[in-house]
Every structure is written in structure tokens, then in C-alpha cells.
Amino acid sequence: MNTHQHDGSPQNGGQLPSLGFVGVGRMGANMARRLKDCGFPIAAVFDANAAAAQTLAAELGSVAADDLKTVTALADVIITVVSDDRAMKKIFTGGLLKRAKGKLFINCATVTPAIHVWVEQKCAAKDAQSLEACMASSITQARQGTLYLMCGGKPETFERARPVLEKLGENPRYIGAAGQAAQVKALVNMVMNANTAALAEGLGLGAALGLDLAMLREVFSQTGARSGVLATDGEDMQNRDHACFFSAAHAAKDSGIALKLAKQQGLNLPLATATKKQYDRMVKTGLGELDKSGIAELTFKDRQGNPA
């Protein structure tokens, strides 16, 4: 790969830029592993869970940073993978932008579009660059480098980030200005969550009717009931296998982001509203850390949401 035109450190003689990670949960850790495998030096990692950062740093030969400014000092490109708006504000006002001139920040969290606009402004004030790189897919794809990335920010920043992005996903998609990729990601997750909720209701009713669910899923797959979540979640719903790839709590949060955008536009979205209520119910009843497929626990008879 020819890196000298676009890499994260133009004066580094054509070498790959050093990377730092802020947020090394399941997604961030697997992204770091993937990029390490691709030859990028992982200079530093930071996480609010210090033990997680220390474990990953030992695995990758990195520094487990005690504070955010250390990540920025050691890395040319800093990739952030945090949970929500509050976490993004906390890291970008908590030392991450100290001596950040010339650095590139790639922000992968699903947060409100306004936060990405705010981050771009904060970075520009420090003569740094930022790009939102909103992720579709999940943990397995992060490790394999097959994420679907929707990117927002200045075109030149996207080009600078491209050598890193292309190792995380084959065809990173440039959407537009800061905040626009986050808008698209919110809509992706809103539709995905509604599809998941509808599938759980369809399978739950099918089970109540005494239908063979393997047969039903096969029929769904050949008809207008086909969807991506049928392929990823249908069997799990039937088998009650809700090992977490994308949590119900995150589904609730992301549907909320989309509904906030809808409210700003004066739109009423009853399906998205009903879906969020279901995921909120999961969180309130202690099921929030199940995979989104766990919404089937609310729709099948004799399960947690519909006890006998």
C-alpha cells in the first residue's frame, strides 16, 4: 500500500502512522488487533476500565496510558470508540486535545450528529483534524476488517484517514460534512431495530400458533419478510441464544438518537417510537446487556416478558 500521500503523519518518511485507541471494549479492542495485524504500530491505549487497557496493551506491545494526553502525545492518529455523547464530551474536554496540533482523530462511536460537529470544531481550534467513521456490522467484522464505515467530515480529512479506514473496511463510504454520517447511521440503526422487533413478534406469534420455526424462518427468507436481521438473529431468537454483539441498551440509545432527529424535523415516527419502548423495557427489566435479539424474550409466550 502506498501510504506516503495520505498517512497520519506526513513527515514520517512514508511509514505507517502510529495509532492510539481511546475505548477498548469489544469493538475497540478488535479494531486495534486488526490494525496491528496490518502493520500499524499501536502506540497507546486508554479505557475507563484500566484493566481492559492494560490487558490489551500487553497483548499488542502498547502503552496502557494513565491519561488521555498520553495517548495524543504518543500517536499520530487517535481512534475513539466510546459509548455515548457524554463519554465523547468527557474525553475531548479531559485532556485528549492537549498538544494535539497536527493529530488526526477518527471517532467511531454512535452519538448524536451535533457531537461530531462539536468535536470537529474543538479539533480545528487546536489545529487538529477529526473525522466521524460510523460503523455498521459488529465485533467479528471489526476483527476481520470488514466493517461498513460511513464517514463524515472534510474531504481532505477523509483522504488522510483512508489508509487506516481501508484496513477496517474495504470500501469506506464518504457521506458528507461533519454530522451527516451520524445522521445516516442513526437511520440505519432505527430501521434495523424496527426490523428486529418485528421479526421477534413474527416468530413469537408463530411459536404461539404451534408452527415449526425453522420452516417459518425459511419461508421468511424467500419472501417479503426477508431481512438482514432474519439472517443474523432469527435462529438466535428461536434458540434463546442472546450472546451480545449489539446490546439492547445500545439499540435503545440509537433509536433515541433517530427519534430526536425526527422531533427536530417535526416528524412523528410511530414504529420507531414503539421499537424504542420495547428496548427501553428490556433495559428496565435487566435485559439491556443481552444482544438486540433478546427482544424476543418480550414476544414469545412463557418467556421473561410473557410469563405463563
Short-list 230, 193, 191, CA closest to 214: 230
All residues at 6 or more sequence positions from 162 whose CB lies less than 8 Å from its CB, including other chains:
6, 172
CA of residue 112 relative to chain centroid, distance: 12
Give the pLDDT of residue 58.
98
Tell me which of 3.30.360.10, 1.10.10.10, 2.60.40.1180, 1.10.1040.10 is the CATH number of domain 183-298. Answer: 1.10.1040.10
CB contact at 8 A, 128 and 160: no
All residues at 6 or more sequence positions from 248 whose CB lies less than 8 Å from its CB, including other chains:
279, 282, 283, 287, 288, 289, 290, 291, 292, 294, 295
Q: How many CA atoms lie within 13 A of 137 on its CB side?
A: 20
pLDDT tens per residue across all 308 residues of the chain = 333 333 344 334 458 999 999 999 999 999 999 999 999 999 999 999 999 999 999 999 999 999 999 999 999 999 999 989 999 999 999 999 999 999 999 999 999 999 999 999 999 999 999 999 999 888 999 999 999 999 999 999 999 999 999 999 989 999 999 999 999 999 999 999 999 999 999 999 999 999 999 999 999 999 999 999 999 999 999 999 999 999 999 999 999 999 999 999 999 999 999 999 999 999 999 999 999 999 999 999 989 776 65
Give the pLDDT of residue 251.
96
All residues at 6 or more sequence positions from 87 whose CB lies less than 8 Å from its CB, including other chains:
23, 109
Alpha-carbon distances of 61 from 44, 58, 143, rounded to whole Å: 9, 5, 18
CB neighbour burial string for 72-107, b if at least 16 within 10 angstroms, e if fewer:
bbbbbbbbbbbbbbebbbebbeebbbeebeebbbbb
Give the pLDDT of residue 14.
58
Q: List the CATH code of the domain at 19-177.
A: 3.40.50.720
- pTM for this predicted structure: 0.90
The C-alpha atoms of residue 92 and residue 239 are separated, in whole angstroms, by 42
Alpha-carbon distances of 300 from 195, 238, 249, 308, rounded to whole Å: 16, 9, 20, 10
Q: Where are the domains of the chain?
A: 19-177, 183-298
Give the pLDDT of residue 138.
85
Secondary structure (H, E, C), the chain: CCCCCCCCCCCCCCCCCCEEEECCCHHHHHHHHHHHHCCCCEEEEECCCHHHHHHHHHHHCCEECCCHHHHHHHCCEEEECCCCHHHHHHHHCCCCCCCCCCCEEEECCCCCHHHHHHHHHHHHHCCCEEEEEEEECCHHHHHHCCCEEEEECCHHHHHHHHHHHHHHCCCCEEEECCCHHHHHHHHHHHHHHHHHHHHHHHHHHHHHCCCCHHHHHHHHHCCCCCCHHHHHHHHHHHHCCCCCCCEHHHHHHHHHHHHHHHHHCCCCCHHHHHHHHHHHHHHHCCCCCCEHHHHHHHCCCCCCCCCC
